[in-house]
Amino acid sequence: MAYDPEQAVFKQEVEALTKPVLTIDEKPKSVFETLYYALQLTLVDFSPFIWATAFVAMAGLPESVTPSMISYCFIGVFVATMIQTTLGNRLPVVQLPSVPIFINMASIAKTYPYGLTTAWGAAFTGGIIEGLFGASRVLTVLRKFMPPVVVGSVVATIGFVITRISLSWVFAIPNALHLSLGIISFLFALFLRFKLKGLISRGFVLISILIVGIIGGTVLGIFDWGSVARAGWVSLPKLFPFKGYDGATSPLIISISAILLVLTGYACSMFESIGDYAAVCTAAAEPYKVKHMNRGIAAEGFSCALCSLFGGLPVTSASQNAGIIASTGIASRVVTQTAAFIFLLYGLCPKFTTILAAIPKSVIGGAFIISAGLILLSGINTVMSDVKNNFGNMIVAGVTLGISVMMPYYLNLDRGAWLETLHPFVKLYLTNNVFLAVTVGIVSNLLINYVFYNKNQ
């Protein structure tokens, strides 16, 4: 069969729980609305600050590198998001640093000779390989193995992941003051979303974070304006910013073993993105097509390679995208692209980045729980539409959700020492909810509905 980029990934359409206020190709009525929604999007996608800081610590680099790394990552988010939304799958997807990839990069940077240069060389090569994999259209084959019961299970798993992320922000500093702010942010966001209308209702996350986080945090003395005052105004990017940092004369060092290690992270990131695209399409009431997978992975891979040239961490799709679209109804691609330019501003102006970092994380988590819940329910709704009078699909959904949600939790809770003895890829696989959901869903569907299928049952 000839390749058809417009072909749906699965035969049965997945219905969105809510109808978008703005669809993917629509634009807000004014510049103010566009900036308003875009700023809201950046406030729940602030992970470049967290992951850049984590990478510096894990790689054994001095803390003085952290501000530059944060700046490079935000610039990378801008570049990757613009490539994805213009040349890639053109979904409203923000591209953020990929945890599975940068964890392996940090390990390389800490243990290999000329480790930092070797890590960037592996990231660059891995990005090219992922990009070529997406461009090859091999992923088209996956559509045959992803019926709604599998996709719904993946989307529901993403909802669980986003909920966990939100709660981790709420409990980031487990004291009475920060927990109270998280609860207040949650209640205030509910009030704005359901009691008010129009822009205020659709901007409930932004308004709750600004009022409770910045104004409330300032009054209570926990918003650090001192760090904002000390931050610089301008930070310009440059090519190969870490060249010579570890003593290497080459800007990139290509090591086969390092590339293989980083590719395990790329594989994990790729399957996670495939699930994220499905969740975004569901939230945006957009049919999930094979072009979204192929072009999305191609754009993501080549973006990772590009990011590595100026010091940014490799990227992947952000699960938060689907949550904010589902809760606000704003699926506009223009809003996502505007958010990309705001990320660029964060990268070029450290003072703005510092303001973002100073907002109490409990406030952001409290406001975002609502969005997480909608994605979770959307996935469950999709699963329920495909399990009626089909015992096999019930088992597929139950096994997929049970394993993908509980296995990482159990292993991290009770088997942490055992996990450390495993190969890095195996460890990444067993502890990544979305990667597990995609693979377990596909395999269990094949086994139950094809290999062990009994037409007389």
Contacts of 1 (CB under 8 A, 6+ apart): none
Residue 135 has pLDDT above 80, yes or no: yes
Percent of the chain with pLDDT over 90: 31
DSSP-based three-state secondary structure for 8:
strand
Q: What is the pLDDT of residues 343-393, one digit of tens each?
A: 999 889 888 877 877 888 899 888 888 877 877 887 888 788 777 778 888
Please give the distance of CA 40 from its chain centroid, rounded to a whole number: 16
- Name the residue among 79, 31, 441 with its Cα closest to residue 275: 441
Arithmetic mean of pLDDT, 60-88 = 88
Arithmetic mean of pLDDT, 123-138 = 93
Where are the alpha helices (H) located in 310-388, listed in sequence order? 320-328, 333-348, 350-358, 361-385
Contact between residue 274 and residue 432 where contact means Cβ atoms under 8 Å apart: no
Q: What is the dihedral of CA 316, 317, 318, 323, to 10 degrees?
A: -170
Could you state, in order of their start, the residue ranges of all structural domains in the chain? Answer: 31-451
Q: What is the pLDDT of residues 425-455, one digit of tens each?
A: 687 778 878 778 888 998 999 999 888 875 5
Task: Give 207: exposed, middle or buried? Use CB within 10 Å, 0-12, 13-18, 19+.
Answer: buried
Would you state the pLDDT for residue 215?
A: 93
Would you state the pLDDT for residue 14?
A: 58
Mean of all residue pLDDT scores within the chain: 85
Residue 245 has pLDDT above 90, yes or no: no
Task: Give 113: exposed, middle or buried? Use CB within 10 Å, 0-12, 13-18, 19+.
Answer: exposed
Count other Cβ atoms within 10 Å, centred on residue 190. Answer: 16
Q: What is the pLDDT of residues 21-40, one digit of tens each?
A: 899 999 999 999 999 999 88
Residue 126 has pLDDT above 60, yes or no: yes
Would you state the pLDDT for residue 49?
A: 73
Arithmetic mean of pLDDT, 239-262 = 83
Would you state the pLDDT for residue 399?
A: 94
Residue 85 has pLDDT above 90, yes or no: yes
Q: What is the pLDDT of residues 205-244, one digit of tens each?
A: 888 988 999 999 999 999 989 888 888 888 788 888 888 7
Would you state the pLDDT for residue 11?
A: 59
Please state the pTM of the whole predicted model: 0.78
Q: What is the pLDDT of residues 313-323, one digit of tens each?
A: 999 988 778 87
Contact between residue 283 and residue 326 where contact means Cβ atoms under 8 Å apart: yes
Q: How far apart are CA 439 and CA 324, in angstroms?
A: 26
Would you state the pLDDT for residue 84?
A: 96
Which has the higher per-residue pLDDT, 95 or 70? 95
